[in-house]
A = this chain, B = another copy of it.
Amino acid sequence: MNWFSSTEQQQLLKTLERESEKLHFTERRHFLKNALVMAGSGALALHGGQALAGNQNLPPNVPQWTGKLGDGVLTNPYGQPSKYENQTIRRTVPWLTADAISSISMTPLHSLKGIITPNGLVFERYHAGVPTINPDEHRLIIHGLVDRPLIFTMDDLRRFPSVSEIKFLECPANGGMEWKGPQMEALQFTHGMISCCEWSGVRLSTLLDEAGVKPQGKWILAEGADGAAMARSIPIEKALDDTIVVYAQNGEALRPEQGYPLRLVNPGWEGNTSIKWLRRLEVGDKPWHMREETSKYTDLMPDGRAQQFSFVQECNSVITSPSPELPFKGGKGWYEIEGLAWSGRGKIKAVDISFDGGINWQQAPLKGLVLSKCLTRFSTMINWHGDPMLLQSRAVDETGYVQPTLKQLRAQRGGNSIYHKNAIHTWKVNANGSVQNVQLA
């Protein structure tokens, strides 16, 4: 395990201070004045860059594939990634679970850009495997403390007014393997239980309005049609707020492992409350205390009591580049430091970056869309001179909540936790550009 002592951290800080004039942060323009040498030299051997320098009108050698005809349209009527991208896949940790039908696979965050997770790479988590559901036979029922119990076909649901929203979904166990120390030498395993899609469907409030919730209706039970009959109790306030009954992700029908043909999405909440293969919504006056909200998905506190219904995924962030899978492989020079931030309570307000393990901080600009309960990108450019760094990011959301240190989180939650580890994460960048997962002692 890569514990990093405070003595080591102080030594690193001194190195960085000596070199501080080298670690520049500049405007976007004119940051890569050495790009010609960097880019040109790497390509000389392959493309005759010498001639290029002598005659600016000559293009480089024509590559072999320009001399050939390619594949026709509809070679893949439903497209596939390039064969050169066959390592961009979901992965699991073999020792983590006993069986693949009650397990998890994780999103390769290091391979992704922007905020959308493509459907083929959205993380998986289920409790009795993925059922194969015929959408024509699927039904959603709403019953319990309602004026008019209702049962819907998929066609029925598609007649209701639809909404489409880009929201992250995160398993509360994301990062859970790291509670007791740095174990996973990969971003995909430290943070890969999160994905972000454009979800389309009907607001649950619209359907509940049709059913007519009785005044004593205070909770909803959502139940899946999978073999686990996975079920969670959800307060009526959330159900009437932003919960969506979803049938599409990133434009197309839900993927089987994402609940095809129907699921809940509770924006900003524990992924497991967004019940997949949704078949039943019961309105009641109190929670049901189902298996997955008692034996699982509770937080064991230092005093031995379990905290139940900790729904919200609190503000979190991680640097995605560099990362163990994306080291600084070009030696010294300019790199983009990039990462993701998110909060289950709303929008990201700001992200700070530290290069010395949290002693000094500076703000990293957010870029692109900044949406509520959605992945948000931050980035900054650095001119790296080969010094080791302890890279951290710290996100703040619009409620003012500041992402805590692991020490702060442990002080509050003790050593028994599995879920809701949203602590500041540390990557150690070594002099050779490799990146390690470390924790500060």
Contact = CB atoms under 8 A, between A and B. Distances in A.
Interface of A: 28-32, 35-36, 38-40, 42-43, 46-47, 49, 52-53, 56-60, 63, 65-86, 88-92, 99-101, 103-105, 111-122, 124-126, 128-135, 137-139, 141, 143-144, 146, 148-153, 155-156, 158-166, 198-200, 206, 209-210, 223, 225-227, 229, 247-248, 250-257, 260-261, 277, 279-280, 282, 329-330, 333-336, 338, 367-369, 377, 379, 381
B69 A148 contact: no
Contacts of A119: 79, 81, 118
Contact of A77 (B46, B105, B138, B223): B105
B329 A113 contact: no
- Highest count of chain B CB atoms <10 Å: which of A49, A59, A104, A160: A59
Nearest to A71: B130
Nearest to A61: B139
B141 A59 contact: yes
9 contacts: A28-B206, A49-B151, A63-B279, A65-B226, A74-B92, A75-B100, A76-B120, A85-B252, A159-B333
B159 A71 contact: no
- Highest count of chain B CB atoms <10 Å: which of A86, A135, A209: A209
A250 B79 CA distance: 13
Contacts of A67: 227
Contacts of A149: 52-53, 56
A82 B206 CA distance: 27
- Highest count of chain B CB atoms <10 Å: which of A46, A49, A161, A280: A161
Given A141-B52, A251-B116, A73 B104 contact: yes
How many copies of this chain sit in the oligomeric assembly? 2
Given A70-B101, A74-B105, A77-B91, A114 B209 contact: no
Contacts of A161: 28, 31, 336, 379, 381
Given A78-B120, A164-B367, A336-B162, A226 B113 contact: no
Contacts of A38: 156
Contacts of A160: 32, 336
A46 B85 contact: no
A99 B72 contact: yes
8 tightest A-B CB contacts, nearest first: A72-B100, A70-B129, A114-B164, A113-B200, A77-B89, A65-B131, A70-B130, A73-B105
A155 B335 CA distance: 11
Nearest to A109: B251
Nearest to A248: B113
Contact of A60 (B139, B247, B369): B139
Contact of A206 (B29, B66, B229): B29
Contact of A155 (B164, B165, B329): B329
A106 B25 CA distance: 45
Contact of A59 (B57, B122, B156, B282): B282
A247 B155 CA distance: 38
A159 B118 contact: no
B255 A81 contact: yes
Nearest to A247: B113
A336 B143 CA distance: 25
Nearest to A135: B84
- Highest count of chain B CB atoms <10 Å: which of A60, A125, A334, A377: A60
- Highest count of chain B CB atoms <10 Å: which of A76, A78, A133, A206: A78
